[in-house]
Structure 1
Amino acid sequence: MSDKHATVGVEMLHYAIATVAADGTVTYDLPVKISDAQKITITPKTTTDKYYADDTTADIVNSFDGCDVGIETYGIKNEILAALEGHEVDANGVVIENANDEPPYIALGFRSRKRNGKYRYIWLLLGKKKPGNEEYETIKEKQEPKSAVMPFEFVQCANGNWRYKIDEDDPAAPIGLETKWFAKVYDGSFPA
C-alpha cells in the first residue's frame, strides 16, 4: 500500500496575531479558532527568469513573490472578522469599520485529513486579510446559504520561511500533534 495519500478535508482553521520586530523577527500571540472551514486555496506567486548562454537556456531562476490565500467558512463571528481586518468593536458589540483601519499581520493554521485518516498540519506564517466582497441575497424557492469568503495575502518572513507543514504519519511527527500544532504557531519546537 502506498504511503502517499490525497487530502480529502479541511478543518480547525486558526489565526494568530503576528508582531514583526525591527530586525524582522516574528512573534505570535496564541492561536484563536476562526470558524468552521469549508475550503482553503493557497496560490503561490512566483517569478521565473531564464538566462541564456551559447544560444540555449543556461539557467532558470524562480523567485517567491508571496501567495494568495482564499478561505471559505461556514459564517464567521463579527469579533473574529474585526480582529482579522483591524476594526474596532465598541462596548455594544458593534463593529466600527474605518477607512483608515489596517489589518494586522497574522499566521494562519489548519489541518487537512488525508485518505488514510491521518492529518496534514499547516501554518502560513505572515500575511494580512485583504478587503473582500460580501454577498446577500433574498430567499427564493429554497434557502441558499452564503459562505464567508475571505482573501488573504501572505509573504515570506525575513528568514525566507513562509509556510510550515507536517503530516501526522511522518515518522518524526510528535505524539499529540493535534494539540501541539494549535497551542502555538510552530517556531522550531513543539510545546511540552
Structure 2
Amino acid sequence: MATIGLDRLYYAKITEGENGDETYETPSPLAKAISAELSVELAEATLYADDGAAEVIKEFQSGTLSLGIDDIGVAAASDLTGATIDDNHVLISTSEDGGDPVAIGFRAKKANGKYRYFWLYRVKFGIPATNLATKGDSITFSTPTIEGTVLRRNKLDGQGRHPWKAEVSEGDDGVNQEIITGWYSEVYEPVFAAGTEG
C-alpha cells in the first residue's frame, strides 16, 4: 500500500561489545522529518552452467539514507557526525570528525490511515548539507539534509544472519499491538522461535 506521510524520526546510539555486537541506547527524537529516501546496493553474482544461468545470488551490500529534516539540534548533530560541543554550547566541526553509527527509526503513514514502522540498524552519517538563500519577494524555507550509509549490523539475529532493517505495518495479520506501541521505546530486536531456519 502506498505511503502518504513521514514522521517520528528517532535515533539510538550504538555501543559495540568486545566481539563487535551492537547494543542500543534508548531512542531519542532526531528532528521533524521532511523526507527520507532509501536506496539499496546489492552484491550480485550469476553462476552459468549448461549454457544458462544456473544460480543467481543477490545480497544486501549497503544502502544510502538521505533525510530531509526541519533542523538538527546540537546534541543530535554531535551524536551523528562526531562534531563536538564546546564550553559555550557551540557546535564545532573539524576535519577529523567522524561520527559513530546509530540506529534510525521512523514511520510512514499509509493511505488507510495506519502506519508502516522502520528501524535501520546501523547508519553512519556524514556532515549535514546546508542550503541558505536570502529572503526575496516570497518566503523560501531552507532546511538541512543529512546523508548516511546504511550497513548491516554485526550482531546476528536468531537465524544466524546480519539484519540491516526491521519493518512492520500496523494492523497486519499477526502483528501484536505491543510491537507498535513500543516501537520507539527501544530498537526492535528480531524474535525467532528456537530451531526455525530461514
Matched residue type, 1:154: V
Q: Is the 8 A contact 2:130 2:143 kept in 1?
A: no
Of 145-154 and 180-189, deviating more is 180-189
- Name the Cα RMSD after superposition: 1.5
**Contact 1:24-1:157 within 8 A present in 2 as well:** no
Residue of 5, 9, 34 corresponding to 1:9:
5
- 4+ runs of 1 displaced by more than 2 Å? 171-179
Q: Which residue of structure 2 aligns with residue 97 of structure 1?
A: 93
Shift of 1:178: 4.5
1:132 CA displacement: 3.9
1:63 correspondence with 2:59: yes
In structure 2, the partner of 1:21 is 17
Aligned-pair CA distance for 1:188: 3.5
Normalised to the residue count of structure 1, the TM-score between the two structures is 0.90
In structure 1, what residue type is equivalent to 2:130?
E
2:165 corresponds in structure 1 to: 163
1:174 deviation in Å? 2.5
Match of 2:147 among 133, 144, 151: 151
Paired position in structure 2 for 1:50: 46
Alignment of 1:120-131 (within 5 A): 120-131=116-127
Greater displacement, 77-86 / 158-167: 77-86
Any gaps of 5 or more consecutive residues in structure 2? 157-161, 192-198
Identify unmatched segments of 5+ residues in structure 1: none
Find the counterpart in structure 1 of residue 131 from structure 2: 135
Q: Residue 181 of structure 1 aligns to a residue in which SS? A: coil
What is the CA deviation profile of residues 125-176 of structure 1, one whole-angstrom value per residue up to 9, with x for unaligned ones? Answer: 0111023432211112212111211100011112210001111112322325
1:82 equivalent to 2:78? Answer yes
Distance, in Å, in 2 between the alignment partners of 1:105 and 1:144 is 32
Cα pair 2:129 2:144 within 8 Å, conserved? no
Match of 2:196 in 1: none
More deviation in 96-105 or 31-40? 96-105
